[in-house]
Amino acid sequence: MSQLHHDRLVDENEAVPHTVPTQRTGDAQASDTTPEEPRLTEVTDLADLTGQAEATARAGIEDVRPASAVPVVIGGRPSRRRRIPAPARRPAVYLAAMLVGASGLGLLAAGDRAVAEETDVVESSSVSVAEELGLDVGTQAAIPQPEAAARLGELTASRAAREAEQAAAAQAQAEADRLAAEAVAEAARPDAVLPVDGGRLTSGFGSRWGTVHAGIDLAAPMRTPEYAAMDGVVLEAGPASGYGLAVYVQHANGDVTVYGHMDEILVTPGQVVRAGDTVALLGNRGQSTGPHLHFEVRLGGLGGQKVDPVPYLRERGVAI
């Protein structure tokens, strides 16, 4: 039985030298197990993959070393040593780098196709929405100048109408605020007041010096304001016998209040006055011994019964 060894036939009778199998760096080791099929993994980082391929290529280039001499047995004697070159790895490394580059280009191309498809979808969606809304996506002709002017006029008129409505609303609000303020003031206004602030009672109602004093006297400095005791209407205002000057005010219940001896009258007949309104300035006219207000109350009218003003005002919350 013959054996092929370095392209030379060896006779069975020749002594075959004992050889020890050696392993060089880079040689594949035999394995009893069946090699697993390579699995394809998803490429997530193209730059990292390219770096790994370059590192593998450099390692393959650096790993190429001169092969050691292997003795060849010829005729039972060792012949001269031959150098058997190690298997080259450069083609495999170059192939790996080419595969990595092709994969990167494929990924880039796939990304470009995806972006293009998304753009097409967006554009088609926009067109479909415009069509559904009835919008003309084509070029529209400009409207005539008279029509544009008419539209601007309508816009101006609409704006003017809105401004007028807003002004009317503001005016109505201001009027409402005024009426509300008046209502508040009216509610806070008293029903009756003392005719002279700070007036000092110097003479009461009743008999005095052999006659009837039909009112009360309230002394105060000259030209001190005199107020309407309650809401009413001025019946008379002017000179009066014994009073010098006098004012007569009739109230809602028909009663009349009389103010005399004033220095100046500030109201006229028929004028509406409210409680606290100034009707005259205090004086010393007529039958008077000093500056004071002569104040009377007549029930039911000018010719009605004269009553004491002190309890009359007290019943209405005014103390003297």
Whole-angstrom distance, CA of residue 249 vs CA of residue 29: 135
> How would residue 16 be classed by pLDDT, with cut points 50, 70 and 90?
very low
C-alpha 295, offset from chain centre: 64
What contacts 129, CB < 8 A, 6 or more positions away? none
| pLDDT tens-digit readout, 251-288 | 999 999 999 999 999 999 999 999 999 999 999 999 99
> For residue 208, what pLDDT is reported?
81
Q: What is the mean pLDDT of the chain?
A: 76
Q: Who has greater pLDDT, 34 or 194?
A: 194
Reply yes or no on whether the pLDDT at 117 is more than 80: no
Token reading at 72: 């060849």
Token reading at 96: 């790996």
Lowest mean pLDDT among 46-60, 105-119, 251-265, 292-306: 105-119
- Count of CB atoms within 10 A of residue 57's CB? 18
CA-based torsion, 240, 246, 250, 255: positive or negative: negative
> How would residue 294 be classed by pLDDT, with cut points 50, 70 and 90?
very high
Which among 291, 284, 273, 271 has a CA at the least distance from the CA of 193? 273
- Count of CB atoms within 10 A of residue 148's CB? 11
| pLDDT tens-digit readout, 171-182 | 999 999 999 998
Reply yes or no on whether the pLDDT at 122 is more than 50: no
CA distances from 94 to 48, 52, 58, 101, 182 (A): 17, 13, 10, 11, 101
Q: Who has greater pLDDT, 245 or 44?
A: 245
Whole-angstrom distance, CA of residue 206 vs CA of residue 137: 103
> For residue 282, what pLDDT is reported?
98
Residue 255 in contact with residue 192, Cβ under 8 Å? Answer: no
Say whether pTM exceeds 0.85.
no
